[in-house]
Amino acid sequence: MGEEGTEGTVHLLCLAASSGVPLFCRSSRGGAPARQQLPFSVIGSLNGVHMFGQNLEVQLSSARTEDTTVVWKSFHDSITLIVLSSEEGASELRLERLLQMVFGAMVLLVGLEELTNISNVERLKKELRACYRLIDSFLGDSELIGDLTQCVDCVVPPEGSLFQEALSGFAEAAGTAFASLLVSGRVVTATESWWRLGTPEAVLLPWLVGSLPPQAARDYPVYLPHGSPTLGACLPLGPRALPAGFPLHTDILGLLLLHLELKRCLFTVEPSGDKDPSPEQRRCLLRSFYTLVTTMHFPPEPGQQEEKVEDTAQRAQVPRACYLVSGTEEPGTGWRLVALQLGPRRLLLLLSAQSPCHGLRSLAARTLQALTPLF
């Protein structure tokens, strides 16, 4: 199984759908921003083949060459986004959701009206510069996974009720119904109205805050006083996402828990930080495994396109658990990956090579039971 985020180049193109005029191009290489740009002839060809298909009432959504995956997507018959990825293991699901996040970021910072009624292309180009930092964060490597799962990255604080009470009091004093407390781009707690924000707003807002430079002036509230003891206990949660001492099996190297109805997720590769593989490799393995089980095994997530009739007829045969051994097939080697779905919750675990394959499902079931009260 290929690992997303390994060395490779990603090019993101944004064009005006009616004219084909490029609005911007962003690139990354090896997860870091790059200055490399595609020739105009290549941009024109990519847009031309897409428009040619539309004229014949054929929707071209993706294509693969020997070393590159290309995905096209149009929004409101006004904006066309194209992404090309030569990353090893790049998946169409990952690239499709990248384009959805990018357009959401454009709407968040520019407004839908400006994007659907383009009266001045040059002015729109200038306005879209405000989106670059946020968009570049989607193209690079991140500790978060909400861009792929389209669920809000969360952490579980040790004293959640105190955080909730303090935040609710602040929101009431500030006269707002929408407030949240973030740490390392993850939501610690939020008001009830904030949780009712739809996708992708609830996912985009924490990413926006995280993409701003430290020295930038921000029109965001400070939720707790600096130096508060409970805030101090919350800060280390960022990468780990779970309180210290939370009972996890020692074989667990990383986990992803999703609540598909609430659109929230817990993602951590820090339970056993002193073991191989590295945190970066763990994130790549779990992201790739999520893509695999979502596209190949588990039923469509809420909010996705309607199922085909033949797919509906096979729902009774849809698996609820699966596992994968990544790497060498020699006994006692290779990382174990297991996925389990129960109701609205989906759990993915990355386990050490010492974890026996016959016990993966029971370990995942016990872990999901322990995590279920969190959300």
Over the stretch 347-370, which tens digit does the pLDDT of each residue have?
999 999 888 888 899 999 999 999
As a whole number, the mean pLDDT across the chain is 82
Q: Measured between alpha carbons, how far is 15 from 25 in angstroms, rounded to an integer? A: 9
What length does the chain have?
A: 375
Please answer whether residues 5 and 29 qualify as being in contact, where contact means their C-beta atoms are separated by less than 8 angstroms.
no
Calpha distance 245→89 (Å, rounded): 35
Is the omega angle on the peptide bond into residue 277 within 30 degrees of 0, that is, cis?
A: yes
Return the amino acid letter for 250.
Answer: T
pLDDT at 2: 43
Query: Would you place residue 220 in the very low, low, confident or very high pLDDT band (cuts 50, 70, 90)?
Result: very low
Preceding amide of 200 cis, omega within 30: yes
Domain limits, CATH 3.30.450.70, in the chain: 9-141
Residues 184-195: b if buried by 16+ CB within 10 A, e if exposed: bbbbbbbbeebb
End-to-end C-alpha distance for the chain, whole angstroms: 30
Q: Residue 184 carries which side chain, given as an amino acid letter?
A: S
Confidence band, pLDDT 50/70/90 cuts, at residue 320: confident
Q: Which residue, 220, 206, 224, is CA-closest to 176?
A: 220
The CA distance from 234 to 21, in Å, is 47
5 vs 233, higher pLDDT = 233
* Residue 68, helix vs strand vs coil: coil
Joined tokens for residue 261: 């109805």
Percent of the chain clearing pLDDT 90 (strictly above) = 35
* Confidence tier at 230 by pLDDT (50, 70, 90): very low
Spatial neighbors of 84 by CB under 8 A, at least 6 apart, are: 9, 10, 11, 13, 38, 46, 68, 69, 70
The residue to which tokens 């039923």 are assigned:
299
Whole-angstrom Cα distance, residue 247 to residue 231?
A: 22
Tokens encoding 204: 């985009």
83 or 113: whose pLDDT is higher? 83
pLDDT by residue (tens digit) across 66-86?
A: 889 999 999 988 999 999 999
Q: What is the mean pLDDT of residues 5-28?
A: 87
Residue 239 pLDDT level (bands cut at 50, 70, 90): low
User: What pLDDT was estimated at residue 256?
Assistant: 94
Write the CATH number of the domain with boundaries 247-300+318-374. 3.30.450
Predicted pLDDT at 308: 46
Burial annotation 317-337 (CB, 10 A radius, 16+ → b, else e): eeeebbbbbbeeeeeeebbbb
For residue 53, the surrounding DSSP H or E stretch is: helix 40-55
For the chain, percent of residues with pLDDT exceeding 70: 83
Angle at 194 between CA 193 and CA 196, to 5 degrees: 65
3-class DSSP string for 277-299: CCHHHHHHHHHHHHHHHHHHCCC
Mean of pLDDT values over 138-166: 88
Instruction: Check pLDDT > 90 for residue 23.
Output: yes
Q: How confident is the model at residue 300 (pLDDT cuts 50, 70, 90)?
A: low
Helices 132-139 and 201-211, packing angle to 10 deg? 100
Distance of CA 348 to the CA centre of its chain: 15
Write the CB contacts of 119 (distance below 8 Å, at least 6 apart in sequence). none
Whether residue 299 has pLDDT greater than 80: no
Query: Does domain 9-141 fall into CATH 3.30.450.70?
Result: yes
Residue owning tokens 């009432």: 57
With 80 as the cut, is the pLDDT of residue 306 above it? no
Task: Please answer whether residues 310 and 323 qualify as being in contact, where contact means their C-beta atoms are separated by less than 8 angstroms.
Answer: no
What was the pLDDT predicted at 199?
Answer: 76
pLDDT at 274: 64
